[in-house]
Amino acid sequence: MSDTISGRLVELLRPEVLAAFDRTFFEREGYWVWEGILTDAGRAQWKKSLQKIQAMNDAVVTGTDWSSIDYKSRGIAEPDPGKISAEFLQSCCGGSEQMAFQPQGFRDYMYQQGLFDSALAPDGFTWQGMMPEYFPLAYDDFILDIATAHPQMMQVISKLLGKRFLIDHVLTLNRTPGSRGRRWHAHPYRNKGQREIEDPIGSGQSLTTEFFPHQCVRTLCYPEGMGAADGGGELSVMPGAHLYRIPYLWDGARTEYSEQIQAGWMADKIHAFTDEPLQIKHLSLPPGSMVSFVHHMPHHVGHRAPDAPTRWGLLMAYRTPDPDEQPTRWNEGAPAHWVERRVESGQLTANMRRVFAGDTPL
Ligand SMILES: O=C(O)CCC(=O)C(=O)O
Ligand SMILES: [Fe+2]
């Protein structure tokens, strides 16, 4: 089928911001800021789509009788009755990472198998088997386009990762007023750590100036911007720290604010290009900006002020294919049940196939 999306917002990004990308800086520092890259129309649509996904997610959370679902026959844990009360469910709304009502394994089950039950029948849109927050592509055509096909967005991702890249995960990161953000941590390539030079704490012996070929890069888009002086929920990174390739605390408890990581893990570490001590960079981005950073670079998200509005954000993580992976039809970056449904209905375009395909395509 054709890859021309009807209604596509062609002028999504400002070409001069796109063109200013500096590969040398990105490889050396491990991050790149696309300051004010969205056009006014792009910014408005991006925010609208994030708000729409949030409203859909909230509608599913509060509008579903979670007690009526047969968890047992599906082999998944029952939710705690106290967490599916109307009051508790209300506290799971308004932003991302709030859905504390979900029992263990619930998110993975929805993503991998799809949870189809008559209790899940939201008004006004088609339920796709998993929560909108965790796979917004399935619920919004604009997000689907920018994540899989929009030529300007595909240019952004190929500047970061080269010609062939796969979706790792795309999800919303809307931070509510009063959100505590996230303490210092990093992520391993493919979420298993099997490619990392060092373990989640790391000795720091493996410092190199070489940019690793196996990369996952996170790109966050903030249509309304973000910064410590702008309500908080600001992202901080550690330029050069990716050259250690230590996926810091990726599967451990994340409790460290900047003072703690400075006194601990960072204390004896240097920037491989300058030999200077590593430093924290607190980002503050104007509306319509994106930031890309190497997935295994430590990063931190500050608290959001209780009286600040929601910080709207979309996380788009893509990676280079893993040449050692067994041939598979699709990679884990999209729910296979949803991809298969698109194939069946003739709605899987060549562009989508490109980002959803297995590392070693079948
Ligand atoms: O919410 C954010 O700004 C970033 C969250 C984060 O830790 C990440 O993208 O891994
Ligand atoms: Fe993170």
CA distance 89 to 46: 26
In 3-state terms the chain splits into helix, strand, coil percentages (rounded to 5) of 30, 15, 55
Query: Which positions ≥6 away from 163 have C-beta within 8 Å?
Result: none
**Helix axis angle, 141-148 relative to 40-63, nearest 10°?**
120
Among 175, 220, 230, 300, say which to mutate for ligand 1: greatest number of ligand atoms within 8 Å of CB. 220
Q: What percent of the chain has pLDDT over 90?
A: 89
The pLDDT assigned to 92 comes to 97
How far, in Å, is the centroid of ligand 1 from the Cα of 160? 18
- H helices then E strands: how many in the chain? 10, 9
User: How far does Cα 224 stand from its chain's mean position?
Assistant: 17
Query: Which positions ≥6 away from 344 have C-beta within 8 Å?
Result: none
Element (H, E) at 167: strand 166-172
Instruction: Work out the average pLDDT over 93-109.
Output: 96
How far, in Å, is the centroid of ligand 1 from the Cα of 19? 25
The pLDDT assigned to 4 comes to 53
Confidence band of 2 (pLDDT split at 50, 70, 90): very low
Task: Tell me which ligand sits closest to the C-alpha of residue 31.
Answer: 1
| 295 CA closest ligand 1 atom index | 10
How far, in Å, is the centroid of ligand 2 from the Cα of 68? 34
Phi, psi dihedrals of residue 318, rounded to the nearest 5°: -125, 160
3-state secondary structure of 269: coil
The pLDDT assigned to 1 comes to 43
Confidence band of 252 (pLDDT split at 50, 70, 90): confident
How far, in Å, is the centroid of ligand 1 from the Cα of 35? 17
How many other β-carbons are positioned within 10 Å of the β-carbon of residue 139? 22
How far, in Å, is the centroid of ligand 2 from the Cα of 4? 33
Radius of gyration (C-alpha) of the chain in whole angstroms: 20
CA distance 338 to 334: 8
Contact 189, 359 (CB under 8 A): no
**Pocket of ligand 1 from Cβ distances under 6 Å:** 173, 175, 182, 218, 220, 235, 299, 301, 313, 315
Instruction: Work out the average pLDDT over 169-176.
Output: 97
The pLDDT assigned to 219 comes to 98
Contact 228, 282 (CB under 8 A): yes
The residue nearest atom 3 of ligand 1, judged by CA position, is: 235
pLDDT tens digits, residue range 298-335? 999 999 999 999 999 999 999 999 988 899 999 999 99
Domains in the chain, please, with CATH?
15-49+138-319 (2.60.120.620)
Q: Is the pLDDT of residue 362 over 80?
A: no
The pLDDT assigned to 194 comes to 75
Contact 227, 283 (CB under 8 A): yes
Among 173, 179, 249, say which to mutate for ligand 1: greatest number of ligand atoms within 8 Å of CB. 173
How far, in Å, is the centroid of ligand 1 from the Cα of 81? 30
The pLDDT assigned to 5 comes to 62
Q: Is the pLDDT of residue 294 over 80?
A: yes
Among 50, 97, 301, 303, say which to mutate for ligand 1: greatest number of ligand atoms within 8 Å of CB. 301
The pLDDT assigned to 193 comes to 75
Confidence band of 7 (pLDDT split at 50, 70, 90): confident
Among 97, 185, 226, 299, say which to mutate for ligand 1: greatest number of ligand atoms within 8 Å of CB. 299
In sequence order, which ranges of 22-139 are alpha helices (DSSP H)? Answer: 23-29, 40-63, 86-91, 106-112
Q: Is the pLDDT of residue 115 over 80?
A: yes
Positive or negative, the CA dihedral 57, 61, 65, 68 is positive
Query: 110 is written with which tokens?
Result: 């929805």
Instruction: Work out the average pLDDT over 82-86.
Output: 97
DSSP string, 24-53: HHHHHHSEEEETT-B-HHHHHHHHHHHHHH
Average pLDDT over the chain, rounded to whole?
95
Q: What percent of the chain has pLDDT over 70?
A: 98
Q: What number of residues does the chain have?
A: 362
Positive or negative, the CA dihedral 83, 85, 88, 91 is positive
Find the angle CA(323)-CA(149)-CA(138) to the nearest 5 degrees. 95
